[in-house]
Amino acid sequence: MFKGEVIMPAQRFVSLSMDPFMEKLYDRPINGKYVLIQRLGKGGFGVVYLAKDIGNDQALALKLEHHSVDPSFLEEEARKYEAFQDAVGFPKVFWFGWHDDFRVMAFELLGPTLEDLFAYCGHRFSLKTTLLIVDQILVRLERLHFGGVIHRDIKPQNFLLGTGTNGSVIYVTDFGLADEYTISRVKAEEETPPRSHLVGTARFASIRGHQGQAQSPKDDLESLGYMMAFFARGRLPWQGLQAHGRGEKNRAVMEKKMATSVEQLCEELPEEFAQYMQEVKDIPSGVRPHYDELRHKFRRLAVREGVSAKYSTPTTRRKKNVIPEFDSLKVLTFHYTEDPAQSENERQRVQLAVLFLVHAFSAAPPWSTTNINMRRTRGPIAGR
């Protein structure tokens, strides 16, 4: 999904063969009402743009996929999003359809990714921030799995903050690799030969994802465990491995991952992290995980460590005055440092940077003079 990038208004997508036609889309409303403003990001099978609805001046995002992509990842992604429209932390889809040679999905505009925040915070989150993030993500995964879907690509890039009053809510995005899940289907797929390719992203993929085996909810939870360790430690044991080619690199990562014990993975972290990983690995494929027990494990740790937050789990996101799980955005922006003075300075700097991104589109339309001028200045969290 989109990366929450701060980019120049004149930037255009130029890496696909159809880019001359893409330029024309800037001058023609999509679905008769959506006007492209600028590119926000690019994935493996689509491009995401900032757009506005000319009927109400609402800011939104458009994801475009060329018709040559077959089967369509975007159509499946839109269909899966539709099943979670009333759930907290899932992007709202406004429209899906065709525009000339492109499939188009119009959806809710979101803020920066957890990867963006992690990079800006010096590639390490405090224990407090990690625990608060994990609490929300466990709620999202439970809702996703309850709806019969496994994500299969859990990573920081696929979790985004909301905007405005939802600025402290974490959204799960990018269902391009998501798959429908039933116990009977997993059991049937376990009897077939595994695929020969990785499903997911090597750094955070489960062992079964590396092996191309049928995945189940426990695989998403395993990937979350790797992401937790990544946030809290700043690095995973299999980062920086040298290899020739992507296939060899993926195999090297898998082998290192298999050789790393949960104790080594969670070294210097509270024991709850290793306990979580071991419990998740021990879950049989056809058994529903005990999400509440996993969540309460970290909440008890939070209490022990003096982490305070108003945890709540709203069941619908469209009611007025919905209280998000996080107390406020600032709990996401306090990061690790040994120097208390530096900690205070950095905390203020990061809060201002994140607030810039989160509220830039809510204070005024992104195409207004004020925000165009803001985006002409190099932003605090630069896209890659």
Mean pLDDT value of segment 101-126: 91
Determine the pLDDT at residue 22. 61
Mean pLDDT value of segment 151-174: 92
**pLDDT surpasses 50 at 150:** yes
- What domains can you pick out in the chain, each with its CATH number? 19-109 (3.30.200.20), 114-304 (1.10.510.10)
Determine the pLDDT at residue 285. 78
Determine the pLDDT at residue 192. 65
Helix ranges, the chain (H): 19-25, 73-82, 114-120, 127-146, 183-190, 207-211, 217-233, 245-259, 262-265, 271-281, 291-304, 340-363, 369-376
- Most confident option among 137-146, 195-204, 313-322: 137-146
**pLDDT surpasses 50 at 252:** yes
Mean pLDDT value of segment 13-33: 62
- CB 155 within 8 Å of CB 203: yes
- The span from the CA of 88 to the CA of 143, in Å, is 9
- The span from the CA of 267 to the CA of 290, in Å, is 24
Determine the pLDDT at residue 1. 38
- CB 381 within 8 Å of CB 13: no
Determine the pLDDT at residue 41. 78
Catalytic choice (116, 135, 153, 174):
153
97 or 119: which leads in pLDDT: 97
Give the confidence band of 77 by pLDDT, cuts at 50, 70, 90. Answer: very high
**pLDDT surpasses 80 at 382:** no
Residue 242: partners with Cβ closer than 8 Å, 6 or more residues away: none
Residue 259: partners with Cβ closer than 8 Å, 6 or more residues away: none
Chain centroid, CA 23 distance in Å: 28
Mean pLDDT value of segment 333-337: 35
Whether 27 is catalytic: no
- The span from the CA of 246 to the CA of 248, in Å, is 6
DSSP 3-state of 30: strand
Across the chain, mean pLDDT equals 77
DSSP 3-state of 311: coil
For 192-212, b/e burial (b = at least 16 CB within 10 A) is eeeeeebbbbbbbbbebbbbe
Closest CA to 109 of 153, 158, 154, 48: 48
φ and ψ at residue 97, rounded to 5 degrees: -175, -165
**pLDDT surpasses 60 at 149:** yes
Determine the pLDDT at residue 182. 79
192 or 178: which leads in pLDDT: 178
143 or 306: which leads in pLDDT: 143
318 or 134: which leads in pLDDT: 134
**pLDDT surpasses 70 at 85:** yes
Residue 63 annotated as binding site? yes
**pLDDT surpasses 50 at 356:** no
**pLDDT surpasses 80 at 53:** yes
Determine the pLDDT at residue 24. 65
**pLDDT surpasses 80 at 194:** no
Determine the pLDDT at residue 64. 93
